[in-house]
Amino acid sequence: MNKLYIPALFLSLMLIAGACGSSSSSSITNVVVPEWILNTPVDDDYFFGTGNTTSRDMSLAVTKSATEARIEIAQQIEVKMSGMQRRFQEEVGLGENSELLDQFTNAYKAVADETLVGSRIINQEIRQEGSIYRAFVLVEMPVGAASEAMMQRLRENENLYTRFRATEAFRDLERELEEYRDQRNRP
């Protein structure tokens, strides 16, 4: 029995020592992050999105970061349009207008899903971390551009557009568009 006990004990000790002796090769890198990533600008006239990605290819890192920032903007647009839908729904009601509400929902979802016209990179920083590039990107998009896209979607469905024009939500959207156009036309 001793003959089996000693090799089993020895093997157990070797396994324990081997497990304790293994070192982790992962290390945490302290990344210095630009201030505009930590404190994204706030402006009632613009949506802002930030991106922070890595790649072995510098241009791919920038592209991935810009895409991440635009996705963040699209999510903000959807939230804003969702709030507008709630106001619209409160004014129009339910029942026989349920088809209208479905069409409205499809219109604002399409705005968030389509290319974010008017979005642009306003700040970017690229850092090399060994063989990897890290890109920080800040993208802005005028609120008016999103509102304009929404109005275009509504105009595509004339029946929906006619009903929508009678609501307070339409007046709010028109006011936003007018402010956006005025701002664009200023020198």
pLDDT tens figures, 39-86: 999 998 888 999 999 999 999 999 999 988 988 888 877 766 655 555
Q: What is the pTM of this model?
A: 0.56
Query: pLDDT tens across 110-133, in order?
Result: 555 555 778 899 999 999 999 999
Query: Is residue 134 within 8 Å of 126, Cβ to Cβ?
Result: yes
Q: How many CA atoms lie within 13 A of 112 on its CB side?
A: 18
- Report the candidate in 72, 28, 27 with the shortest Cα–Cα distance to residue 52: 72
Strand partners, 134: 54, 127
- With the CA atoms of 52, 53, 57 and 60 taken in that order, what torsion angle do they form, in degrees rounded to the nearest 10? -80
What are the start-end ranges of the H helices in 22-167?
35-38, 58-92, 98-113, 143-156, 158-165
Name the architecture of domain 32-185. Roll (3.10)
Hey, where are the domains in the chain? 32-185
